[in-house]
């Protein structure tokens, strides 16, 4: 007989919830959470399904957050078994969303069911924040729920996002923060002319080159205990008409900062402009802030997670801020302490995505252990 986390994971993995389609996943959670006494609220925006479910009104408020949407499958013929027909092979559960992150959602729900069954009069409150818009544009998902909660002054004390954070084995790594992402489109202006008469023009590529070299060599910060130093990288350069006898009138340079809590958006923008101004460039910049950095240092949530992983998995976990962004960048605006804790990430978004079946009850046990520590019976 398989355990309840396995059964629920398989049930929601069978739903073809390719972003931003929820495909009924949130309805499954809403039904089971309502039976536990949760107040159910759907927040739908532009075809995106978001679920906010809360049990209790007292502090502290502990939240499980995550996404029901998955990335597209890729070529179906390359899958060993259909991506939305979950299949067990050699101790692994295969299907799209197995690692990222339907198994985590299942574990969070079964952990909550077990905790409430044992502690029906628990202190504090428990909530679920689910969205079907994380793998796509992420403009109408978690951010919409955060806006609604912020508007009514509903703040979170603790939050666990079930993103796949483990590297080699369940629990060996959890994320206690993520770097910020700041992109820019820099247009350096020159004067177009015939390439045989350069004195009649101004080559913006030549003008920009020394500034680019200086920016690439700049130490923006030294990072801190949890984050590596900020990086600045060019992703695209475009200049010229395509002809070989024309000096271009402008060059467009797209770049990105990955930055930590050791720097600020305003500080990075000011320093970059300072370099450009020092080189006497005429330019325009369009900025796009993809995400601000967030960090949860040592404290009740990190300590509870470390102890739970030690007790359940018998290993010491590593706190890490590596990787890209997550919906934690939105939730951090209204949450004091936030961690990402989930299964092994190795097959996320890949053909034949899978998760070890024996990790499912362990992940549920980790979540329940943390609940029991922070939400007193």
Active site residues: 69, 134
The tokens for 92 are 């692994």
Beta-strand relationship, 61-67 and 193-194 = unpaired
Which parts of 175-259 fold into alpha helices (H)?
A: 204-217
Cβ(116)–Cβ(53) under 8 Å? no
Cβ(310)–Cβ(240) under 8 Å? no
Closest among 210, 255, 253 to 232, alpha carbons compared: 255
Give me the helix-helix angle, 103-118 and 4-13, nearest 10°: 140
Count how many Cα atoms sit within 13 Å of the Cα of residue 220 in the half-sphere of its side chain: 29
d(CA 26, CA 36): 15
Closest among 278, 289, 88 to 179, alpha carbons compared: 289
Tokens 């992150």: give the residue: 101
Sign of CA dihedral 317, 132, 32, 6: negative
d(CA 5, CA 116): 16
Closest among 162, 173, 56 to 109, alpha carbons compared: 162
């Amino acid at each position: 007989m398989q355990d309840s986390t396995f059964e629920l994971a398989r049930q929601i993995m069978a739903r073809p919830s390719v972003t931003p389609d929820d495909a009924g996943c949130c309805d499954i959670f809403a039904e089971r959470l309502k039976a536990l006494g949760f107040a159910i609220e759907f927040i739908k925006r532009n075809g995106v399904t978001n679920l906010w479910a809360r049990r209790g009104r007292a502090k502290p408020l502990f939240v499980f957050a995550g996404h029901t949407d998955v990335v597209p499958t890729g070529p179906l013929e390359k899958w060993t078994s259909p991506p939305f027909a979950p299949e067990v092979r050699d101790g692994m559960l295969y299907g799209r969303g197995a690692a990222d992150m339907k198994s985590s959602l299942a574990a969070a729900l079964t952990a909550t069911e077990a905790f409430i069954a044992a502690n029906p009069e628990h202190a504090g409150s428990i909530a679920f924040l689910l969205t079907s818009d994380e793998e796509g544009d992420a403009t109408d998902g978690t951010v919409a729920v955060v806006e609604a909660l912020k508007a009514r002054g509903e703040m979170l004390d603790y939050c666990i996002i079930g993103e796949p954070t483990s590297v080699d084995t369940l629990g060996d790594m959890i994320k206690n923060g993520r770097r910020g992402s700041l992109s820019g489109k820099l247009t350096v202006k020159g004067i177009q002319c015939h390439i045989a008469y350069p004195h009649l023009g101004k080559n913006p590529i030549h003008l920009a080159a020394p500034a680019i070299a200086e920016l690439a060599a700049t130490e923006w910060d030294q990072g801190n205990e949890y984050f590596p130093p900020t990086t600045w990288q060019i992703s695209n350069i475009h200049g010229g008409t395509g002809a070989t006898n024309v000096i271009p009138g402008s060059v467009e340079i797209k770049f990105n900062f990955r930055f930590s809590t050791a720097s600020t958006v305003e500080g990075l923008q000011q320093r970059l402009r300072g370099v450009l101004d020092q080189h006497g460039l005429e330019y325009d910049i369009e900025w796009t802030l993809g995400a601000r950095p967030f960090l949860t240092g040592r404290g009740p949530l990190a300590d509870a997670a470390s102890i739970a992983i030690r007790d359940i998995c018998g290993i010491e976990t590593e706190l890490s801020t590596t990787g890209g962004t997550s919906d934690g960048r939105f939730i951090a605006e209204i949450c004091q302490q936030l961690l990402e804790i989930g299964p092994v990430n190795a097959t996320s978004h890949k053909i034949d995505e899978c998760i070890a079946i024996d990790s499912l009850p362990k992940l549920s046990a980790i979540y329940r252990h943390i609940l029991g520590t922070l939400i007193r019976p």
